[in-house]
A and B are shown apart, each in its own frame.
Chain A
Amino acid sequence: MSGWMQHLTVAPIVLPLAVSALLLAFDERRRALKRVLSLATVGALIGIALTLLWQVSGAAGSGQAAGPHVYLLGNWPAPFGIVLVADHLSVLMLLLASLLGFTALFYAMARWDRAGPRFHVLFLLLLAGLNGAFLTGDIFNLFVFFEVLLAASYGLVLHGAGMERTSASLHYITINIVTSLLFLIGVAMIYAATGTLNMADLAERIPLVQAGDLALLESGAAILGTAFLVKSGIWPLSFWLSRTYAAAVPPVAALFAVMTKVGIYIILRLSWLLFGDTSGGAAGFADNWLIGAGFATMLFGTIGILSARTLTRVAGHYVLVSSGTLLAAIGIGGQALTAALLFYLVSSTLAVGALYLIIEPVERNTDEDDMIAGIAEPVFDDEYTGALEEGEEDEIGIVIPGTIAVLGGGFIFCTLLLSGLPPLSGFIAKFALIDALFRHGAVTPTIWVLIALIICSGLATLIGLTRAGIDLLWTPAEDSPARLSVIEVAPIGLLLATCLTLMIGAGPIFSYMEATAGAIADRAAYVDAVRHAPRAGEVQP
């Protein structure tokens, strides 16, 4: 790897950060410019993620070693400096985040980005934070990127203002600040027990931790884990999630679907890297807790879906079910199951993103008044130069005839995806999960419970969404159906097309997931890559 290509690893963080800083310099009224710049940036992020994926999976051929790309920030050697590691898993998450980001941003152009100031800036900052959290190989740096993405998300939850949003975000911010403090306590305790913050270095040192310090290390890891579990919405720490997500504007909620997956990603990474089978006294730490908490979350989410009265609440509880399934599967472990859970992660995140986007146009038919009430009068005078005005809608795009047909089709697609019915990728994901569970070895009661919960939660999703669909789409409309612009339909279509690709290309995609699971299990390769990362200017061996 030579020349500028070696800096590609840091580009997913630097690029959105730089562009969002640049956008701050422009006046709110130059909306077209902001839209073009931010869309181009997120498009470039997809390109970068694809290139990295191509390189990491070893398809690049000649002379390029497959495997993790390690980037030494400031050219400090690991473990003293901070490293960025682009391996199979982080590149997969990068691609997922940028895809979802692109569609959400596209959708926001229909009108949501005018509901408040500096939408594009915050959106790009959130993506920079997400990408950083996926790439970093240092737990304190992870904290910093978490704060970046959280700070941006605070602004985005507030986007559009209004009483409900302000009140929900007050809780959201408070909970996340407390969680960040837990994060810091956990990091400090792990540092006290091991003397390092680099993930690869931690993986090497944890087996050597003496029995006396093991309690300190494990309680540190437990506190750190609690912080991630709050972010991923585990029961009983998930009470904030469905309300906050319901209060956020649709494109923001769609992007938030990937934010819960950051917690899942970190738990997956750390539980394999730090607490795998060869980690000495700390091996298999907290696996049973993950399984139990995962079951409780799935159960809570399932009940929540059945009792939800609005579609946004159904979607919010589905996010919980998906988190719970993933956590329980991480707790059970095993390489085949990891591959299946990654496929499920991608499929369910894209599907729930599409659902969040489609909810608003579907519900627009029934309660147009509520929607307008959602965007309230400004709080601070200087900010709302371009605030949304009703009636402005008509300018954008062509209005599609047969709105209900399009919406209904998309809604059915989402329902099938989320509930895991054949033939879509949701079914393939659940089938792969259940198949991997049966092949996991002895089929214990725990595994039976998980399989039952996966099936029941799918059924509940089907019931919840069908009921809502009948209410919203089959009710004869008194007035003419609401308008729907191409800008709104295109991103939903794009997300659903991606899910369709997941289904059609399930073979190659699944083999990538298996390679990813292999790479996650191969701790030695990860540690080696970080420890022996060549510094720039040094002759490579």
Chain B
Amino acid sequence: MEIVLAIAIGALTASGLWLLFRPRTFQVVLGLSLLSYAVNLFIIAAGRLRTDAPPIVGRDGPVDPGLYADPVPQALVLTAIVISFATTALLLVVLLASRGLTGTDHVDGTEEDL
């Protein structure tokens, strides 16, 4: 499972970075989205990987923490997902405004001379 997760994070980061450096605004937005998926997976990995373990401890007394998944990274990921979703939406609006004003989807607002 670790290797699958590691490959997933690596692939997402690599493609995200490649897209981020492309000259078209839409590619940049997609790159940022892929990067944020990679980061979200990374945060989950920071809490150690567990399957079939509940993150919430019941009320009945002391328990063995080894039987439970770490709830903190899960909470962090939820917050991070919401925030990156919102900022990506905002970036899309700016992208549209820039496209409308400059008439090109180049990140600099002008087509470079080739």
Chain A interfacial positions (CB closer than 8 Å to B): 140, 144, 147, 150-151, 154, 158, 161-163, 166-167, 169-171, 173-174, 177-178, 180-181, 184-185, 187-189, 191-192, 197, 376, 379-380
Contact = CB atoms under 8 A, between A and B. Distances in A.
16 contacts: A144-B79, A163-B101, A163-B102, A166-B98, A166-B101, A167-B108, A173-B90, A177-B88, A181-B32, A185-B39, A188-B42, A188-B46, A191-B46, A191-B47, A197-B72, A376-B101
B102 A167 contact: yes
A184 B84 CA distance: 11
Closest A-B pairs by Cβ, 8 of them: A188-B46, A192-B46, A167-B109, A188-B43, A379-B97, A166-B98, A147-B83, A163-B101
B69 interface: no
B87 interface: yes
Given A147-B87, A167-B108, 5 more contacts: A163-B109, A170-B107, A177-B91, A188-B39, A188-B42
A171 B72 contact: no
A201 to B, nearest CB: 12
Contacts of B79: 140, 144
Contacts of B102: 163, 166-167
A166 B107 CA distance: 11
Most interface-central of A169, A188, A192, A376 (chain B CB within 10 A): A188
Contacts of A180: 83-84, 87
B100 A379 contact: yes
A118 B57 CA distance: 44
Contacts of A147: 83, 87
A178 B32 contact: yes
Contacts of A151: 86-87, 90
A150 B90 CA distance: 11
A122 to B, nearest CB: 12
A370 to B, nearest CB: 17
Given A144-B79, A151-B90, A191-B72, A171 B43 contact: no
A154 B35 contact: no
Contacts of B35: 178, 181
B81 to A, nearest CB: 11
Contacts of A171: 107
Contacts of B72: 191, 197
A376 B97 CA distance: 12
Contacts of B94: 154, 158, 166, 169-170, 173
B97 to A, nearest CB: 5
Nearest to A164: B109
Interface in B87-114: 87-88, 90-91, 94-95, 97-98, 100-102, 107-109
Most chain A CB within 10 A, of B73, B84, B90, is at B90
A151 B109 CA distance: 22
B20 A178 contact: yes
B42 A167 contact: no
Contacts of A178: 20, 32, 35
B101 A379 contact: yes
Interface in B51-102: 72-73, 76, 79-80, 83-84, 86-88, 90-91, 94-95, 97-98, 100-102
Contacts of A154: 87, 90, 94
A514 to B, nearest CB: 38
B106 to A, nearest CB: 10
A451 B20 CA distance: 40
B76 A188 contact: yes
Contacts of B28: 174
A298 B43 CA distance: 35
A169 B25 CA distance: 13
B97 A166 contact: yes
Nearest to B108: A167
Contacts of A197: 72
A158 B84 CA distance: 19
Interface in B21-41: 25, 28, 32, 35-36, 39
Contacts of B32: 174, 177-178, 181
Contacts of A166: 94, 97-98, 101-102, 109
Contact of A184 (B80, B101, B107, B109): B80
A177 B90 CA distance: 11
B39 A191 contact: no
Contacts of A189: 46
A444 B95 CA distance: 50
Nearest to B32: A177
A151 B87 CA distance: 7
